[in-house]
């Protein structure tokens, strides 16, 4: 049987960002998938070597706007470790609040894109209407809707008033109530399940072998979540990773949707337990020197930062591995054996962030 090579992307109606994959086809079946990485390379890692280490917080936030606060959290945690800075407990809780709000807005954005891929325009609008509520909170508390620049070395740039925390509690409760009504469509609608159930299967064994991270790994039955290591204030909050064992498109949808509920609970817990006190400490001492690895659980999975300081105001090296980059091998494992009509949906369910991957 002769094979045909079909390019998928970098522009495609279902893709929020330019991912390019060459699909080797036999009739309607995919037999091989070949990625082409580097379409939007921006050179941000090199840029960090030319800026002072205090300025790099703004650079890493722009690796990806949707998970910007967690990029800054990972970077700040690493520099704080190198400089032996202990941030206030209040700052740890504030970082968790903003991180979980970002996780909510990322997952709600993805649910909207999923609905749009089905052609369910009203469902798309409903998901993004709730996302707008989260972004309004971030604008009110930090002055910006996406890249909020809340984290700085030594703590957080801003604090939350009691009035703001009361309002956050009210808004996340509203989002939870709205999402409970949308859940029936995302998880029980016949058309949606027909496109999701049994498609793009990644087994637990394959998830382990291909080092899958984040909701993709948890949807394949892996109980892996960096938040359980207790970084920042997560060690003082009660939660369990959201797990599904089927490893298909439906399982990944289930995990992300229920992680929004989990984020609502974590925000409310953090607000209830946040201590009084300062939210930032002065950055004193010599500039960072030595090597450090800092890891954070982003909406798409684990982000890993390696930093090497030389005792001057600039770093010798900053290297980061983003979750989408880690999950692309798993995607290439899932595509062979699938039909061409399912490719867009399978790619979408890994929640690809190409600006992160190609930074």
Tens digits of residue pLDDT in 216-231 = 999 999 999 999 999 9
| Phi–psi pair at 293, nearest 5 degrees | -120, 130
pTM higher than 0.85, yes or no? yes
Is residue 14 over pLDDT 80?
Answer: no
- Please state the rounded mean pLDDT for residues 135-164: 93
Query: How far apart are the C-alpha atoms of 167 and 165, rounded to whole Å?
Result: 5
Tens digits of residue pLDDT in 18-64 = 788 888 988 888 998 888 777 777 788 889 889 999 999 999 998 98
Binding region for Ni(2+):
64, 67, 353
Is residue 1 over pLDDT 70?
Answer: no
Closest of 63, 69, 65 to residue 91, by C-alpha: 69
| Phi–psi pair at 309, nearest 5 degrees | -100, 150
User: In this structure, how many other beta carbons lie within 10 angstroms of the beta carbon of residue 150?
Assistant: 28
Q: Mean of the per-residue pLDDT values for the chain?
A: 91
Query: How far apart are the C-alpha atoms of 154 and 143, rounded to whole Å?
Result: 20
Tens digits of residue pLDDT in 70-100 = 999 999 999 999 999 999 999 999 999 999 9
Binding region for Mg(2+):
45, 320
| Phi–psi pair at 196, nearest 5 degrees | -110, -45
Which of these CATH numbers, 3.40.50.720, 3.30.70.260, 3.40.980.10, 1.10.645.10, describes 40-358?
A: 1.10.645.10
Is residue 2 over pLDDT 80?
Answer: no
Binding region for Fe cation:
67, 356
| pLDDT score recorded for residue 265 | 97
Binding region:
45, 64, 67, 320, 353, 356
- Please state the rounded mean pLDDT for residues 122-134: 93
For the chain, what are the domain ranges?
40-358
């Amino acid at each position: 049987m002769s094979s045909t090579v079909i390019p998928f992307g970098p522009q495609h109606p279902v893709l929020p960002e330019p991912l390019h994959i060459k699909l080797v086809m036999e009739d309607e079946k995919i037999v091989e998938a070949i990625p082409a990485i580097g379409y939007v390379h921006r050179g941000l890692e090199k840029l960090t070597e030319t800026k002072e280490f205090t300025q790099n917080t703004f650079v890493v936030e722009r690796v990806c706007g949707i998970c910007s606060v967690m990029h800054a959290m990972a970077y700040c945690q690493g520099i704080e470790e190198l400089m032996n800075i202990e941030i206030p407990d209040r700052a740890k809780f504030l970082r968790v609040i903003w991180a979980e709000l970002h996780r909510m807005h990322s997952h709600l954005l993805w649910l909207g894109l999923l609905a749009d891929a089905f052609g369910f325009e009203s469902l798309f609008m409903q998901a993004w209407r709730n996302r707008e509520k989260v972004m309004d909170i971030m604008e009110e508390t930090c002055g910006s809707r996406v890249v909020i620049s809340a984290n700085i070395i030594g703590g957080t740039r801003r604090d939350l008033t009691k009035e703001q925390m009361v309002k956050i509690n009210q808004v996340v409760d509203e989002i939870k109530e709205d999402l409970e009504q949308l859940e029936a469509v995302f998880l029980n609608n016949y058309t949606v399940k027909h496109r999701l159930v049994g498609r793009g299967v990644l087994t637990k064994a394959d998830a382990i072998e291909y080092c899958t991270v984040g909701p993709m790994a948890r949807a394949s039955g892996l109980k892996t979540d960096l938040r359980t290591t207790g970084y920042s204030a997560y060690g003082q909050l009660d939660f369990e990773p959201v797990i599904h064992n089927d490893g298909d498109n439906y399982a990944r949808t289930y995990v992300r949707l229920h992680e929004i509920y989990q984020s609502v609970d974590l925000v409310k817990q953090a607000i209830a337990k946040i201590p009084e006190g300062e939210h930032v400490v002065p950055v004193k001492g010599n500039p960072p020197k030595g090597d450090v690895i800092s890891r954070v659980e982003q909406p798409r999975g684990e982000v890993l930062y390696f930093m090497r300081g030389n005792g001057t105001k600039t770093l010798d090296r900053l290297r980061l591995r983003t979750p989408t980059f880690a999950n692309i091998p798993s995607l290439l494992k899932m595509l062979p054996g699938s039909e061409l009509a399912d490719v867009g949906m399978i790619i979408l369910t890994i929640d690809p962030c190409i600006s992160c991957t190609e930074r």
